[in-house]
């Protein structure tokens, strides 16, 4: 699901046309200040022997080597969407999609198939050994879809289509990163799913490669990643509002439902879902934090005791 969502986001971005750097627009109220961009091209201080032509050539080379910003609204660059760069974010999405599909290529059955010994489990996970419910499995899928669709609809309604596309790419990156890490951990651990410790599940399910993909829960990781990254986005857009915390409460409750449904469906142990939740929340904070908005609101002070607020932007 996250892989398909990311592909849709990439297609929408491509439809927007050539990527360019937005130009600052003059606006007397509030004043617009250009601040140094940490991603802007830089060159070392030229030596005293360097000619003006050599200095200009160095600046031109650094400018050509600079990453290409993806600006959602070139005519209105002060929309505070996450800053994306084609050379950074597109490869991250591509790698995330490949890693997210890694578990689909597992060919080995669970090490204890077709029936595992529950006495080898810890005390907590032993309580859910043998669980199997197709209904709960479907419920976890629908819950995950609802979180993804809800996050997308919320940001589009709040920001408008183009700025929301930038932010949704970051949300997609977070979900893909959660799926990728979960896939790596799942393939590395090779832990049998809960339904492998009983006979409620069909024999073909217990003999399938999917039976050894328990730790950790990718559904839980992706759900909490999307919910947390949506909260981080709303907190940036509305830092003084209660809305971000409402988003986190609703999204967190839905993600908790997904994680619990995976346990009730016999697809994951409690420790699998808890581990997925921790990974998802951590990535939901970490990935958005790597994407600074090019717009900041800062207090200003002038001569004569003047006070005010200015917008600072870098392009």
Mean of the pLDDT values across residues 101-120?
91
* Domain ranges, residue 193: 2-26+39-292
Q: Using one digit for the tens of pLDDT, what is the confidence trace for 51-104?
A: 888 777 777 776 666 777 776 655 555 556 777 888 888 888 888 888 888 888
pLDDT exceeds 80 at position 239: yes
Residue 314 lies in a domain: no
What's this model's pTM, rounded to 2 decimal places?
0.75
Are the CB atoms for 85 and 70 separated by under 8 Å? Answer: yes
Residue 177 lies in a domain: yes
Q: What is the pLDDT of residue 80?
A: 64
CA distance 168 to 233: 9
CA distance 167 to 235: 12
Residue 170 lies in a domain: yes
Residue 302 lies in a domain: no
Residue 32's H or E segment, with its range, is: strand 32-34
Residue 308 lies in a domain: no
Residue 137 lies in a domain: yes
- How many domains does the chain divide into? 1
CA distance 129 to 123: 10
Q: Which residues contact 167 (CB under 8 A, 6 or more apart)?
A: 81, 82, 155, 159, 233
CA distance 4 to 97: 8
Q: Where residue 10 falls among pLDDT bands split at 50, 70, 90?
A: very low
Q: What is the pLDDT of residue 83?
A: 78
Q: Half-sphere exposure of residue 272, counting CA atoms within 13 Å on the CB side?
A: 35
Q: What is the pLDDT of residue 297?
A: 46
Q: Using one digit for the tens of pLDDT, what is the confidence trace for 250-307?
A: 999 999 999 999 999 999 999 999 999 999 999 999 999 888 755 444 455 444 555 5
Mean of the pLDDT values across residues 237-242?
91
Residue 300 lies in a domain: no
84-85 and 32-34 beta bridge pairing: unpaired
Transcribe 83-116 into DSSP letters: PEEHHHHHHHHHHHHHHHTGGGG--PPPTTTT--
| Residues forming a β-bridge with 298 | 310
Q: Using one digit for the tens of pLDDT, what is the confidence trace for 163-208?
A: 898 899 999 999 999 999 999 999 999 999 999 999 999 999 999 9
Q: Where residue 218 falls among pLDDT bands split at 50, 70, 90?
A: very high
Q: Report whether the peptide linkage leading into residue 30 is cis, meaning its omega lies within 30 degrees of zero.
A: yes
Residue 312 lies in a domain: no
Q: Which residues contact 93 (CB under 8 A, 6 or more apart)?
A: 6, 9, 10, 169, 172, 173, 176
Mean pLDDT check: name the lowest of 157-166, 239-248, 272-281: 157-166
């Amino acid at each position: 699901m996250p892989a398909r969502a990311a592909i849709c986001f990439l297609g929408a971005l491509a439809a927007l046309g050539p990527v360019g750097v937005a130009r600052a627009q003059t606006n007397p109220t509030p004043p617009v200040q250009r601040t140094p961009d940490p991603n802007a091209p830089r060159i070392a201080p030229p030596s005293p022997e360097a000619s003006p032509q050599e200095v200009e050539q160095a600046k031109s080379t650094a400018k050509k080597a600079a990453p290409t910003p993806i600006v959602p609204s070139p005519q209105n660059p002060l929309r505070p969407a996450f800053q994306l760069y084609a050379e950074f974010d597109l490869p991250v999405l591509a790698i995330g999609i490949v890693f997210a599909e890694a578990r689909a290529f597992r060919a080995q059955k669970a090490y204890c198939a077709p029936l595992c010994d529950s006495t080898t489990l810890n005390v907590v996970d032993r309580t859910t050994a043998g669980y199997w419910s197709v209904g709960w499995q479907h419920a976890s899928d629908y819950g995950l879809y609802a979180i993804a669709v809800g996050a997308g609809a919320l940001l589009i309604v709040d920001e408008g289509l183009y700025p929301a596309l930038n932010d949704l790419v970051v949300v997609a990156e977070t979900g893909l990163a959660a799926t990728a890490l979960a896939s790596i951990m799942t393939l590395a651990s090779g832990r049998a799913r809960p339904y492998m410790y009983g006979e409620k599940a069909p024999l073909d399910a217990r003999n399938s490669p999917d039976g050894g993909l328990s730790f950790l829960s990718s559904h839980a990781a992706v759900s909490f990643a999307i919910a947390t990254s949506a909260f981080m986005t709303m907190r940036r857009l509305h830092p003084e509002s209660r809305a971000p915390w409402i988003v986190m409460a609703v999204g967190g409750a839905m993600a908790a439902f997904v994680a619990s449904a995976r346990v009730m469906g016999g697809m994951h142990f409690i420790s699998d879902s808890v581990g997925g939740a921790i990974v998802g929340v951590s990535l939901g904070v970490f990935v958005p934090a790597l994407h600074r908005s090019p717009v900041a609101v800062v207090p200003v002070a002038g001569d004569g005791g003047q006070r005010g607020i200015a917008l600072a932007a870098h392009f």
